[in-house]
Structure 1
Amino acid sequence: MKTISFFDTKPYDKVYFDAYKAKYHIDIIYHETKLNKGSAILAKNSQGVCAFVNDTLDRETLETLCESGIEIVAMRCAGYNNVDLKFAKGKIHIVRVPAYSPHAVAEATMGMLLTLNRKFHRAYNRTREYNFSINGLNGFDLYGKTIGVVGTGQIGRIFIKICKGFGMNILAYDPYPAQDADFQYVDFNELCEKSDIISLHCPLTKESHYIINQKSIEKMKQGVYIINTSRGALIDSDDLLENIKSGKIGGAALDVYEEESDFFFEDLSNTIVHDDVLSRLISMPNVLVTSHQAFFTNEAIENIAKTTLGNFQEFFDVGTLTNEVCYK
């Protein structure tokens, strides 16, 4: 039985990880705190670490883990842009969950688009106060509109299939286009120019950082809608805010935010949020913000638990790592 330190624990994590940990011969020490350079010492006397999307695995954090004898960090998510892979290489194994439920994120993306467009969230709040007026709640037909999908991995391609079901025209951009695609690829500038709606499904890399910025927004149609269920730093939040204020961007649905690590997944209802950009975005009637929950289905959490525990079992019992992203 190996012991792992589990950071940024939420109640739903315990439900699924506790249900399967014995099967994989893993014991878990749960920590509610996020993993960072200050909390990394808590992993001492463990054989592995489990981290999440908003933990900070920078050089200092990884150094502390290595000094504590930790040889493997399992990310219970697909992304690993919060890991200093350059430092980790040759020192500590980093593994991930490459696919937990691409359908969950794709379906949530369409749900956010429908909610933003048809203003269901605002209608819900009205009717709870017995206000049954529909003034100001009109949207537009998705049928016949052009949607630009940035990133055509599993999630992006499933989302494209959903959009086709609505009768939408598809434009896609990906630096590594699929060879068997049944949709049209264009360059990013053309996608910006021709799309009524733009949905982001790409990983965060040096090339994609702030892919939505003032320059790219200027190329877009007046009143364009932008949906982001991928990574917050794909969008320059200041530029987004200014163009929503000006009316250039007609609406935005954000399940992620570039500075989300201090806010998302936490209950801050009794505190003042000291992020003026986030506060102003949330206050706007044509902006929908959710707390990084697009992945959050029962099936996804179960798959995350099984794959993460399987990653540990592979390392401890077999010595191979199917889902490794950084080799020691």
Structure 2
Amino acid sequence: MKLVIIEPLGVNDEKLLSMAKDMLPADLEIVYYNTRVTDTETLIERGRDADIIAVSNLPMNADVINGCKNLKMLSVAFTGVDHIAMDACKANGVLVSNCAGYSTAAVADLVFGMIIALYRNMIPCNDVVRKEGTKDGLVGFELEGKKFGVIGTGAIGLRTAAIANAFGCQVLAYSRTKKDIPGITYVDMDTLLSSCDIVSLHTPLNSDTRGLIGKEELAKMKPSAILINTSRGPVVDSAALADALNNGRLAGAGIDVFETEPPIAKDHPLLTAKNVIATPHVAFATKEALEKRAVIVFDNVDKWLKGTPQNVM
């Protein structure tokens, strides 16, 4: 059996291979590519003889899946699998496991970093103090007492809700699946959007959530509200959000994800919109999270080899 780690996983090469050898059978051949490529031909060449491929967010399209003739299992070092041709995997009998849970703490941390930066004008404050200025016009807001909306209550959404509770927020949630969680009140989407001071998105990207937050939804939000998106870029209509920000219909936004992976074009509407904090899809990327992720990647492979697959998509 052959495992191909088809791209870097954010862990030091030596440590990553040591982890793989410690966690996986000695007779499993392991090939590691520590450079990232995106073209279909090279990906097929790298994975052509692989029984198992470990991949992070490279575009594993149908041509790649079909071209990797021996492929039986994909261990995806990501929570979402919208970059994986799942139909092709199903047609070819390829099992797909993800790494749910590795970035729960990391993503929730960034959510509140963005909120506090927006609420306390941290970037403008940093700029003005370096220009010998004062706090004039930069008085901010507190989190305590605010209505905090969480859309999508999976693991990350629930952790975000718990932290919001700790800050003294009233947490409202919208999700297809309601859970009995102390401190969270489930409401319909319209109620959440119209009531909340902060709305944080934590949904996967699928046919139901693509364009979930568009012009109509943004119009229901308070002009004083802020929107945080650390889920997937296409969940939000970027042009509509930029328009709402530029015309004072929304107070601010924290955006970690876009329609494509970084680098993001300079003329993207959200990069020129008012009061936006933008980060390059970094919410999941902490040293601790990336090491947790590598452990899950190899544990997924090990469990599959033993006939007890886990985290199956």
Does TM, normalized by the shorter one, top 0.5?
A: yes
1:28-177 matched pairs, under 5 angstroms: 28-41=31-44, 42-53=46-57, 55-65=58-68, 67=69, 69-91=70-92, 92-127=94-129, 129=130, 131-177=132-178
Give 1:14's aligned amino acid.
D
Residue 275 of structure 1: how far off its partner (Å): 5.2
Cα distance in 2, alignment partners of residues 210 and 15 from structure 1: 41
Residue 118 of structure 1: how far off its partner (Å): 1.0
Write the deviation string for residues 127-152 of structure 1: whole angstroms up to 9, x where unpaired: 4x353422332221222111111011
Change (3 A) 1:88 1:106: same
Residue 299 of structure 1: how far off its partner (Å): 2.3
Aligned to 1:22: 21
Residue 153 of structure 1: how far off its partner (Å): 1.2
Classify the secondary structure of the residue corresponding to 2:168.
coil
Residue 175 of structure 1: how far off its partner (Å): 0.8
- Residues 123 and 137 of structure 1 are in contact (CA less than 8 Å); yes or no, is this contact kept in structure 2? yes
Cα distance in 1, alignment partners of residues 39 and 293 from structure 2: 22
Give 2:287's aligned amino acid.
N
Cα distance in 2, alignment partners of residues 285 and 117 from structure 1: 14
Which residue, 257, 260, 267 being the options, matches 1:276?
267
- Residues 211 and 236 of structure 2 are in contact (CA less than 8 Å); yes or no, is this contact kept in structure 1? yes
- Residues 257 and 281 of structure 2 are in contact (CA less than 8 Å); yes or no, is this contact kept in structure 1? yes
Cα distance in 2, alignment partners of residues 295 and 262 from structure 1: 14
Aligned to 2:288: 299
Aligned to 1:6: 6
Change (3 A) 1:30 1:125: farther
1:189-268 matched pairs, under 5 angstroms: 189-259=190-260, 261-263=261-263
- Residues 5 and 46 of structure 1 are in contact (CA less than 8 Å); yes or no, is this contact kept in structure 2? no
Aligned to 1:269: none
Identity across the alignment (%): 27
- Residues 151 and 203 of structure 2 are in contact (CA less than 8 Å); yes or no, is this contact kept in structure 1? yes
Residue 238 of structure 1: how far off its partner (Å): 1.0
- Residues 103 and 289 of structure 2 are in contact (CA less than 8 Å); yes or no, is this contact kept in structure 1? yes
Classify the secondary structure of the residue corresponding to 2:277.
strand
Residue 216 of structure 1: how far off its partner (Å): 0.7
Q: Is 1:290–2:279 an aligned residue pair?
A: yes
Residue 16 of structure 1: how far off its partner (Å): 4.5
- Residues 222 and 247 of structure 1 are in contact (CA less than 8 Å); yes or no, is this contact kept in structure 2? yes
Aligned to 1:324: 312
Q: What stretches of structure 1 of length at least 5 have no aligned partner? A: 264-272
Write the deviation string for residues 145-202 of structure 1: whole angstroms up to 9, x where unpaired: 1111101111111111111111111111001111345421000111111111110011
Give 1:231's aligned amino acid.
R
Change (3 A) 1:258 1:220: same
Deviates more, 1:189-198 or 1:283-292: 283-292
Residue 218 of structure 1: how far off its partner (Å): 1.3
Write the deviation string for residues 278-321 of structure 1: whole angstroms up to 9, x where unpaired: xx4234451001112212223211110111011122233x1331
Give 1:164's aligned amino acid.
N
Q: What stretches of structure 2 of length at least 5 have no aligned partner? A: none
Cα distance in 2, alignment partners of residues 305 and 313 from structure 1: 12
Classify the secondary structure of the residue corresponding to 2:40.
coil
Change (3 A) 1:90 1:148: same
Using the size of structure 2 for normalisation, the TM-score is: 0.90
Change (3 A) 1:181 1:151: farther
Classify the secondary structure of the residue corresponding to 1:190.
helix
Aligned to 1:267: none
Using the size of structure 1 for normalisation, the TM-score is: 0.86
- Residues 16 and 302 of structure 1 are in contact (CA less than 8 Å); yes or no, is this contact kept in structure 2? no
Classify the secondary structure of the residue corresponding to 1:21.
helix
